[in-house]
Amino acid sequence: MRPVIGIDFGTTNSVVAALRADGAVDVLRHDTAEVFRSVLCFWREENGAARHAAGPRAIETYLDDPLGSRLIMSMKSYLAQPGFTRTRIFGRDVTLEALIALFLRELLRRQEHAGARVVVGRPVRFVGEAPDDALGQRRLRDAFAAAGLPEVEVALEPAAAGHRFARGLDRPAVVLVADFGGGTSDFSVLRFDPGPPRRVTPLGHAGVGVAGDAMDYRIIDRVVSPLLGKGDTYTVMGGAPLPVPPAWYATFARWHQLSLMRSPRVLRDIADVARTTTHPERLHHLIRLVEEEAGYALYRAVSGVKATLSSADSAVLEFRAAGFEVSAPIARADFEAWIAPELALIRGAAEAALRDAGLGAGEVDRVFLTGGTSLIPAVRRIFEERFGADRVTAGGEFVSVAEGLALMEETVPAAA
């Protein structure tokens, strides 16, 4: 049997799975981990030579010398954005496709793929303002081609997760699959006939560009940004008070955009506003956090608090860097209130998938949730209230898409 490799290139994490001849699926391990952080780091050696690393090594290198290195995150978030084509690294223009290709080579370094059928996942809807989904898929293919994989197949990520889930079905079923990534929440309605051979009929799809990263944003925006000047005022030549520019905090709270604040012009503007603001020390902290590249450590702390709130009624956000300290208790009820806009969008996308399938909630036999955000109780509650708790299951939060992509070889597509 021809080898099959499934590649889940994610906004935050990436996973590779391979289908063995005996039908088992192996997830590629990177040291002891199944997930590989979707990040790149660039730096210069003492002799001036440019170097790069990906995944955990990229993070380690960056944390060792944040001021002398460049961390590239959330590359997938830009695929469907026509306005972003390249960035400048150490004086050289590098296209988005080239960046992703560098990352993919590192991701696949330990996976033999010569002669294999390679299946790559994509979201139903790419993330971003007015995303161009056709552009996103084309760039994704181009990036894989640049990495040495010119003939990949592309499949919807929630449909792939459904294939993984369907292995446990022993009777025909209509399944709503909800896949929550870092940047997107995607839904597929599929009819499975266990066979043999197993047949899959796609019935409907929908997606929305919000997921885990957007919920991290809410914690930073509500808890951290006010301590850095958000909501304060300043004056110009003794005139009426003006709000400190909220756009700074919208950028600060989105980790893949933070590098935009390192420009001398932005830092100079913040320093100018600090001269007449009501709390100048807050803006000085903001400047230092940006200058000293403390953002990644903050986002890691925020992600940890979010994970704790999935199993506890409260958690404490602890963060110290660059002379700035946060020790803030957060109640789960407050967090759920903050993410209400994201919950509404997720609920709406799930309903859109049902409409696309032409089905009502009562016609769905099972609901399968996967991805880290599915662990948030308020997210799971959306589906339990709509479909009944007995029909909702979850699992394989970080590996189900890659495993399902590898398993797609086993199924026989049914006519739509």
pLDDT in tens, 275-292: 999 999 999 999 999 988
Give pTM, 2 decimals.
0.89
Spatial contact of 4 and 152, defined as CB atoms under 8 Å apart: no
Radius of gyration from C-alpha coordinates of the chain? 22
Q: Quickly list DSSP for 55-105.
A: HHHHHHHHHH-GGGEEEEE-GGGGTT-TT--EEEETTEEEEHHHHHHHHHH
Q: What is the DSSP letter of 257?
A: G
Spatial contact of 318 and 301, defined as CB atoms under 8 Å apart: yes
> Distance from first CA to last CA of the chain, Å, rounded?
27
Q: Which tokens belong to 46? A: 């003492």
Cα–Cα distance, 121 to 137 (Å, whole number): 10
As beta bridge partners, residue 33 has 30
Q: Specify burial of residue 288 (Cβ count, 10 A radius: 0-12, 13-18, 19+).
A: middle
- List, for residues 360-399, the tens digit of each pLDDT value: 999 999 999 999 999 999 999 999 999 999 999 999 889 9
Count of residues making up the chain: 416
Q: What Cα–Cα distance (Å) separates residue 377 from each residue in 161, 307, 339, 405? A: 20, 11, 12, 27
User: Which value, to the nearest 10 degrees, does the dihedral of the CA atoms of residues 343, 348, 354, 359 take?
Assistant: 110
Return the pLDDT at 409.
58
User: Residue type at 114?
Assistant: A
Cα–Cα distance, 165 to 168 (Å, whole number): 6
Q: What angle in degrees, to the nearest 10, is found between the helix axes of 295-309 and 280-291?
A: 100
Which element (helix H / strand E) includes 406? Answer: helix 400-407
Cα–Cα distance, 74 to 67 (Å, whole number): 20
Contacts of 237 (CB under 8 A, 6+ apart): none
Q: How many helices (H) and strands (E) does the chain have?
A: 13, 21
Q: Among residues 1, 33, 8, which one has the least CA distance to residue 405?
A: 8
User: Is the dihedral angle over the CA atoms 222, 225, 228, 231 positive or is it negative?
Assistant: negative
Q: Residue 85: which region, alpha, beta or left (left: phi > 0; alpha: psi -120 to 50)?
A: alpha
User: Residue type at 265?
Assistant: R
Return the pLDDT at 222.
97
User: Residue type at 406?
Assistant: A
Cα–Cα distance, 104 to 336 (Å, whole number): 35
User: Which value, to the nearest 10 degrees, does the dihedral of the CA atoms of residues 19, 20, 22, 24 take?
Assistant: -50
- Residue identified by tokens 């979010």 is 306
Mean pLDDT by 10 residues, the chain (416 residues): 90 94 90 93 89 94 86 92 90 95 95 88 90 96 96 94 89 96 93 84 94 94 97 94 96 80 92 96 96 87 96 97 95 98 97 98 97 95 98 93 85 44
Return the pLDDT at 412.
44
